[in-house]
């Protein structure tokens, strides 16, 4: 029985290499990174968060596996387009689904 090509791609080490889909610095970078992390994880995309709260001048980053990067960039663009109100609604929906 032949295996799904996409499934095979997800299993290779190269496909799991981390790709940065967000990097920012300054006073809002941590909040942006955490927001992006939440949006991506809600879509089932695993995230590697990088940053340092003690030094706000250092960048924060959000990384995903290389194979998930195109979808992650799509999700981020959709979330930015939808705006903060959609983020609040999504968070409320996520809380309701936990109960």
CATH number for the domain that contains residue 53:
3.30.70
Whole-model pTM above 0.85? no
Query: Which residue has better confidence, 76 or 93?
Result: 76
| Chain segment 37-70, per-residue pLDDT in tens | 999 998 999 999 998 777 777 899 999 999 999 9
DSSP 46-94: --EEE--TT-TTS-EEEEEEGGGHHHHHHHHHHHHHHHHHHHHHHHHHH
Q: Count structural domains, the chain.
A: 1
Span 5-30, average pLDDT? 77
Q: Is residue 40 part of a domain?
A: yes
Q: Is residue 10 part of a domain?
A: no
The pLDDT value recorded for residue 5 is 56
The pLDDT of residue 15 is above 90 = no
Structural domain boundaries, residue 91: 15-98
The pLDDT value recorded for residue 40 is 94
Q: Is residue 91 part of a domain?
A: yes
Instruction: Order across the sheet with 60-65: list the strands.
Output: 18-24, 60-65, 48-50
């Amino acid at each position: 029985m032949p295996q799904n090509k996409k499934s095979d791609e997800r299993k290779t080490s190269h496909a799991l290499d981390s790709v940065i889909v967000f990097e920012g610095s300054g006073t809002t970078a941590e909040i942006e990174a955490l927001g992006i992390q939440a949006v991506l994880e809600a879509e089932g995309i695993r995230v590697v968060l990088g940053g340092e709260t003690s030094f706000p001048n250092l960048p924060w980053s959000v990384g995903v596996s290389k194979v998930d990067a195109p979808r992650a960039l799509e999700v981020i663009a959709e979330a930015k387009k939808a705006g903060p109100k959609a983020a609040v609604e999504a968070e409320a929906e996520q809380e309701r689904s936990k109960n």
